[in-house]
Amino acid sequence: MKKTSLTIFWPTIDFLDIEEVRFCRSFCRSMSQSICLDDTLNAVWLDYNPESSMASLLSRAESDFLLVVTDPEILLSSKALIQLIQGDANDFSALGPIYNLTQYPQQQADLSAPYLNIATFNEVVMEFFSFAEQKSVSVATLDPSIISYPAAFLQKFSESELTLSPADFSMLEFAKKIKRNSLVHRFGDYYDGERPDLVEMIPERVKKILDVGCAMGGYGRGLKKARPDIRVTGVEMNPVMAQRAKVYYNHIVEGKIEDITFTDDFDLINCGDVIEHLYDPWNMLHQLGKLLQKGGYLVLSVPNAGHWTIVRDLLNQEFEYVPVGLLCITHIRWFTEKAIKKALADSGFCIDLLKKQQLTPTASGQKFIKTMVDSGYGNEQSLLTNEFIIRAIKK
């Protein structure tokens, strides 16, 4: 394929004052550029203000195609870019990719296996590129997060006051198409999940819950739907997220859990993906036990450091932090099944329930797991488990 002139406009948007969000936006920009270093692409990356006029943007671009990104928390791939500039520049069609997460049903990817790191993302991208339907499909609406335009088409609007914001995009009349074999990753609202897997671990007799690290309140929202009788207190150290969570909780305490003194006790304490972010989770488990009534419960979810994606990356000299997930940028402690069981026992807890969340491995992941197990260097259940969901009782 000959070199193609492409301008990628990446948005400069004020972000929430949340460490993971700051990292996510920097990571997505730099990692997308790194992944998309392809000798078939002659791409120029330009930052832009979403409120800039279309005329000012077009004056900066000297290319046949413009790829406009409006969501800075997405991850591109070179294969997706190639597909999004395959159209005829005289066709005047806007092209969009498919996503792992989107509100537009026709652009929702049907993933054969979930991906948890950059290596597995690239593997799934290649699957779509090789096997998905190659042709573009006409649609009535497009997810405005990423759209490829022929520059010649947008020149028609260069004298207008329109911008390339999602609101102005909806005013443009043109053919809209998607490429079903061009996969793009969106990180999505990763601080707003309702966590039904943790809510279902709450015994019937529980009436008072402390939710440690409540983020934007997803757990509280889900809990109030299922058990409106429960009084729930949330703890969140980030003031932006604490403010958003208030509507779903009976009470919110703002600050680090290590620095807060409680005068009340609780029937259950919830720690959804929390202790791996703490400097001294072992001491914190001991302190949380003191806040529970006799026979009280601790429910927690903990990522497994022995998951096959981490093990394989380490064997390949890789350890790539990501905004959220197994290798979240703010993880500072790591646990295997044996390690979390010991930590709980040492802190005075007896495990009541232990569930292992196991996502389907990719094709190469299945082969890797079999190789490790057959050679005697891996435990299949450990390699398959990405997260532990545990309910423990205070002794």
CATH of 196-394 given 3.40.50.150, 3.40.228.10, 3.40.50.2000, 2.60.120.10: 3.40.50.150
336-369 tens-digit pLDDT: 999 999 999 999 999 999 999 999 999 999 999 9
- pLDDT by residue for the chain (395 residues), tens only, comes to 344 578 999 998 776 677 888 899 999 999 999 888 876 677 889 998 888 888 888 888 888 888 999 999 999 988 888 888 865 555 667 899 999 999 999 999 988 888 999 999 999 998 888 765 667 888 888 999 999 888 888 877 777 777 776 666 666 667 788 988 899 999 987 788 899 999 999 999 999 999 999 999 999 999 999 999 999 999 999 998 999 999 999 999 999 999 999 988 999 999 999 999 999 999 999 999 999 999 999 999 999 999 999 999 999 999 999 999 999 999 999 999 999 999 999 999 999 999 999 999 999 999 999 999 999 998 999 999 999 999 999 98
* β-pair partners for 9: 46, 68
Residue 305 has a pLDDT of 97
Within the chain, which residue ranges are assigned CATH 3.90.550?
4-186
HEC assignment per residue over the chain: CCCEEEEEEEECCCCCCCHHHHHHHHHHHHHHHHHCCCCCEEEEEEEECCCCEHHHHHCCCCCCEEEEECCCCEECCHHHHHHHCCCCCCCCEEEEEEECCCCCHHHECCCCCCCCCHHHHHHHHHHHHHHCCCCEEECCCCCCCEEEEEHHHHHHHCCCCCECCHHHHCCCCCEEEEEEEEEEEECCCCCCCCCHHHHCCCCCCCCEEEEECCCCCHHHHHHHHHCCCCEEEEEECCHHHHHHHHHHCCEEEECCHHHCCCCCCEEEEEEECCHHHCCCHHHHHHHHHHCEEEEEEEEEEEEECCCHHHHHHHHCCCCCCECCCCCECCCCCCECHHHHHHHHHHCCEEEEEEEEECCCCCHHHHHHHHHHHHCCCCCHHHHHCCEEEEEEEEC
Residue 91 has a pLDDT of 62
Give the C-alpha separation, 3 to 327, whole Å. 35
Name the class of domain 4-186. alpha beta
Whole-prediction pTM: 0.89
Structure tokens at 167: 């609101």
Residue 42, phi then psi, degrees to nearest 5: -110, 75
Residue 60 has a pLDDT of 85
Within the chain, which residue ranges are assigned CATH 3.40.50.150?
196-394
